[in-house]
């Protein structure tokens, strides 16, 4: 449902490709790989094989993937200039936080999961309206042009 909503928003805007990221694609891929390695290094300090059960040993890499997803989402937010791709980075960051919470607590109650789902749904709708307003006002999605507001 969420990808369809974002795809519909992109189709309405008429842009299919990100132009002018802050850092070009090859260094971005290397940075994302480095952030993934950093996620595994940080998550390794949480893993103690002598204290874990068989159930928690199965999800050993889940926390590392969650940390990597969080870091890559944050990098995507910083690296992109268009508001829509920054929103996608924010969603990746939030998914990383959610995955980390699930991996550390071995699941959440249904009420908490429904609350988080509603929060994400509202955030996507508000950010979609914000992106539409930015494009309507400035004829561009480039957030670097928002510095004109200070003048």
Strand, coil or helix: 81: coil
Q: Which residues are 142's β-sheet partners? A: 82
Q: In this predicted model, which residue has the larger pLDDT, 128 or 106?
A: 128
Is residue 111 pLDDT above 90, yes or no?
no
pLDDT over threshold 80, residue 63: yes
pLDDT, one tens digit per residue, over 69-103 is: 999 999 998 898 777 788 888 888 888 888 888 87
pTM reported for the whole predicted model? 0.67
Task: List the structure tokens of 118.
Answer: 């509603």
Between 150 and 120, the higher pLDDT residue: 120
Neighbours of 141 (CB within 10 A): 21
CB 73 within 8 A of CB 91: yes
Two structure tokens written together for 40: 């595994």
Percent of the chain whose pLDDT exceeds 70: 77
Identify which of 43, 39, 70, 74 has the alpha carbon closest to the alpha carbon of residue 59.
Answer: 43
Cα–chain-centroid distance for residue 83? 13
pLDDT of residue 51: 64
C-alpha to C-alpha distances, 98 to 37, 93, 95, 109, 130, nearest whole angstrom:
20, 9, 5, 13, 24
- Which stretches within the chain are classed as H helix? 2-13, 25-44, 54-58, 62-79, 83-105, 110-138
Residue 17 has pLDDT above 80, yes or no: no
Q: Sorting pLDDT into bands at 50, 70 and 90, what band is 52?
A: low
What dihedral do alpha carbons 135, 141, 146, 149 form, nearest 10°? Answer: -10
Q: What is the mean pLDDT of residues 122-149?
A: 75
């Amino acid at each position: 449902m969420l990808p369809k909503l974002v795809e519909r928003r992109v189709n309405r805007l008429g842009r299919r490709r990100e132009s002018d990221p802050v850092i070009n694609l090859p260094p971005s891929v290397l940075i994302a790989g480095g952030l993934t390695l950093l996620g595994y290094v940080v998550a390794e300090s949480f893993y103690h094989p002598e204290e874990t059960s068989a159930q928690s040993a199965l999800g050993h890499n889940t926390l590392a993937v969650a940390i990597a997803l969080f870091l890559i989402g944050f990098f995507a937010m910083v690296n992109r200039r268009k508001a829509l791709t920054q929103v996608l980075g924010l969603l990746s960051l939030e998914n990383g936080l959610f995955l980390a919470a699930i991996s550390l607590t071995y699941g959440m109650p249904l009420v908490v999961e429904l609350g988080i789902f509603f929060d994400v749904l509202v955030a996507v709708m508000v950010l979609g309206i914000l992106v539409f307003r930015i494009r309507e006002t400035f004829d561009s999605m480039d957030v670097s042009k928002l510095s004109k507001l200070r003048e």
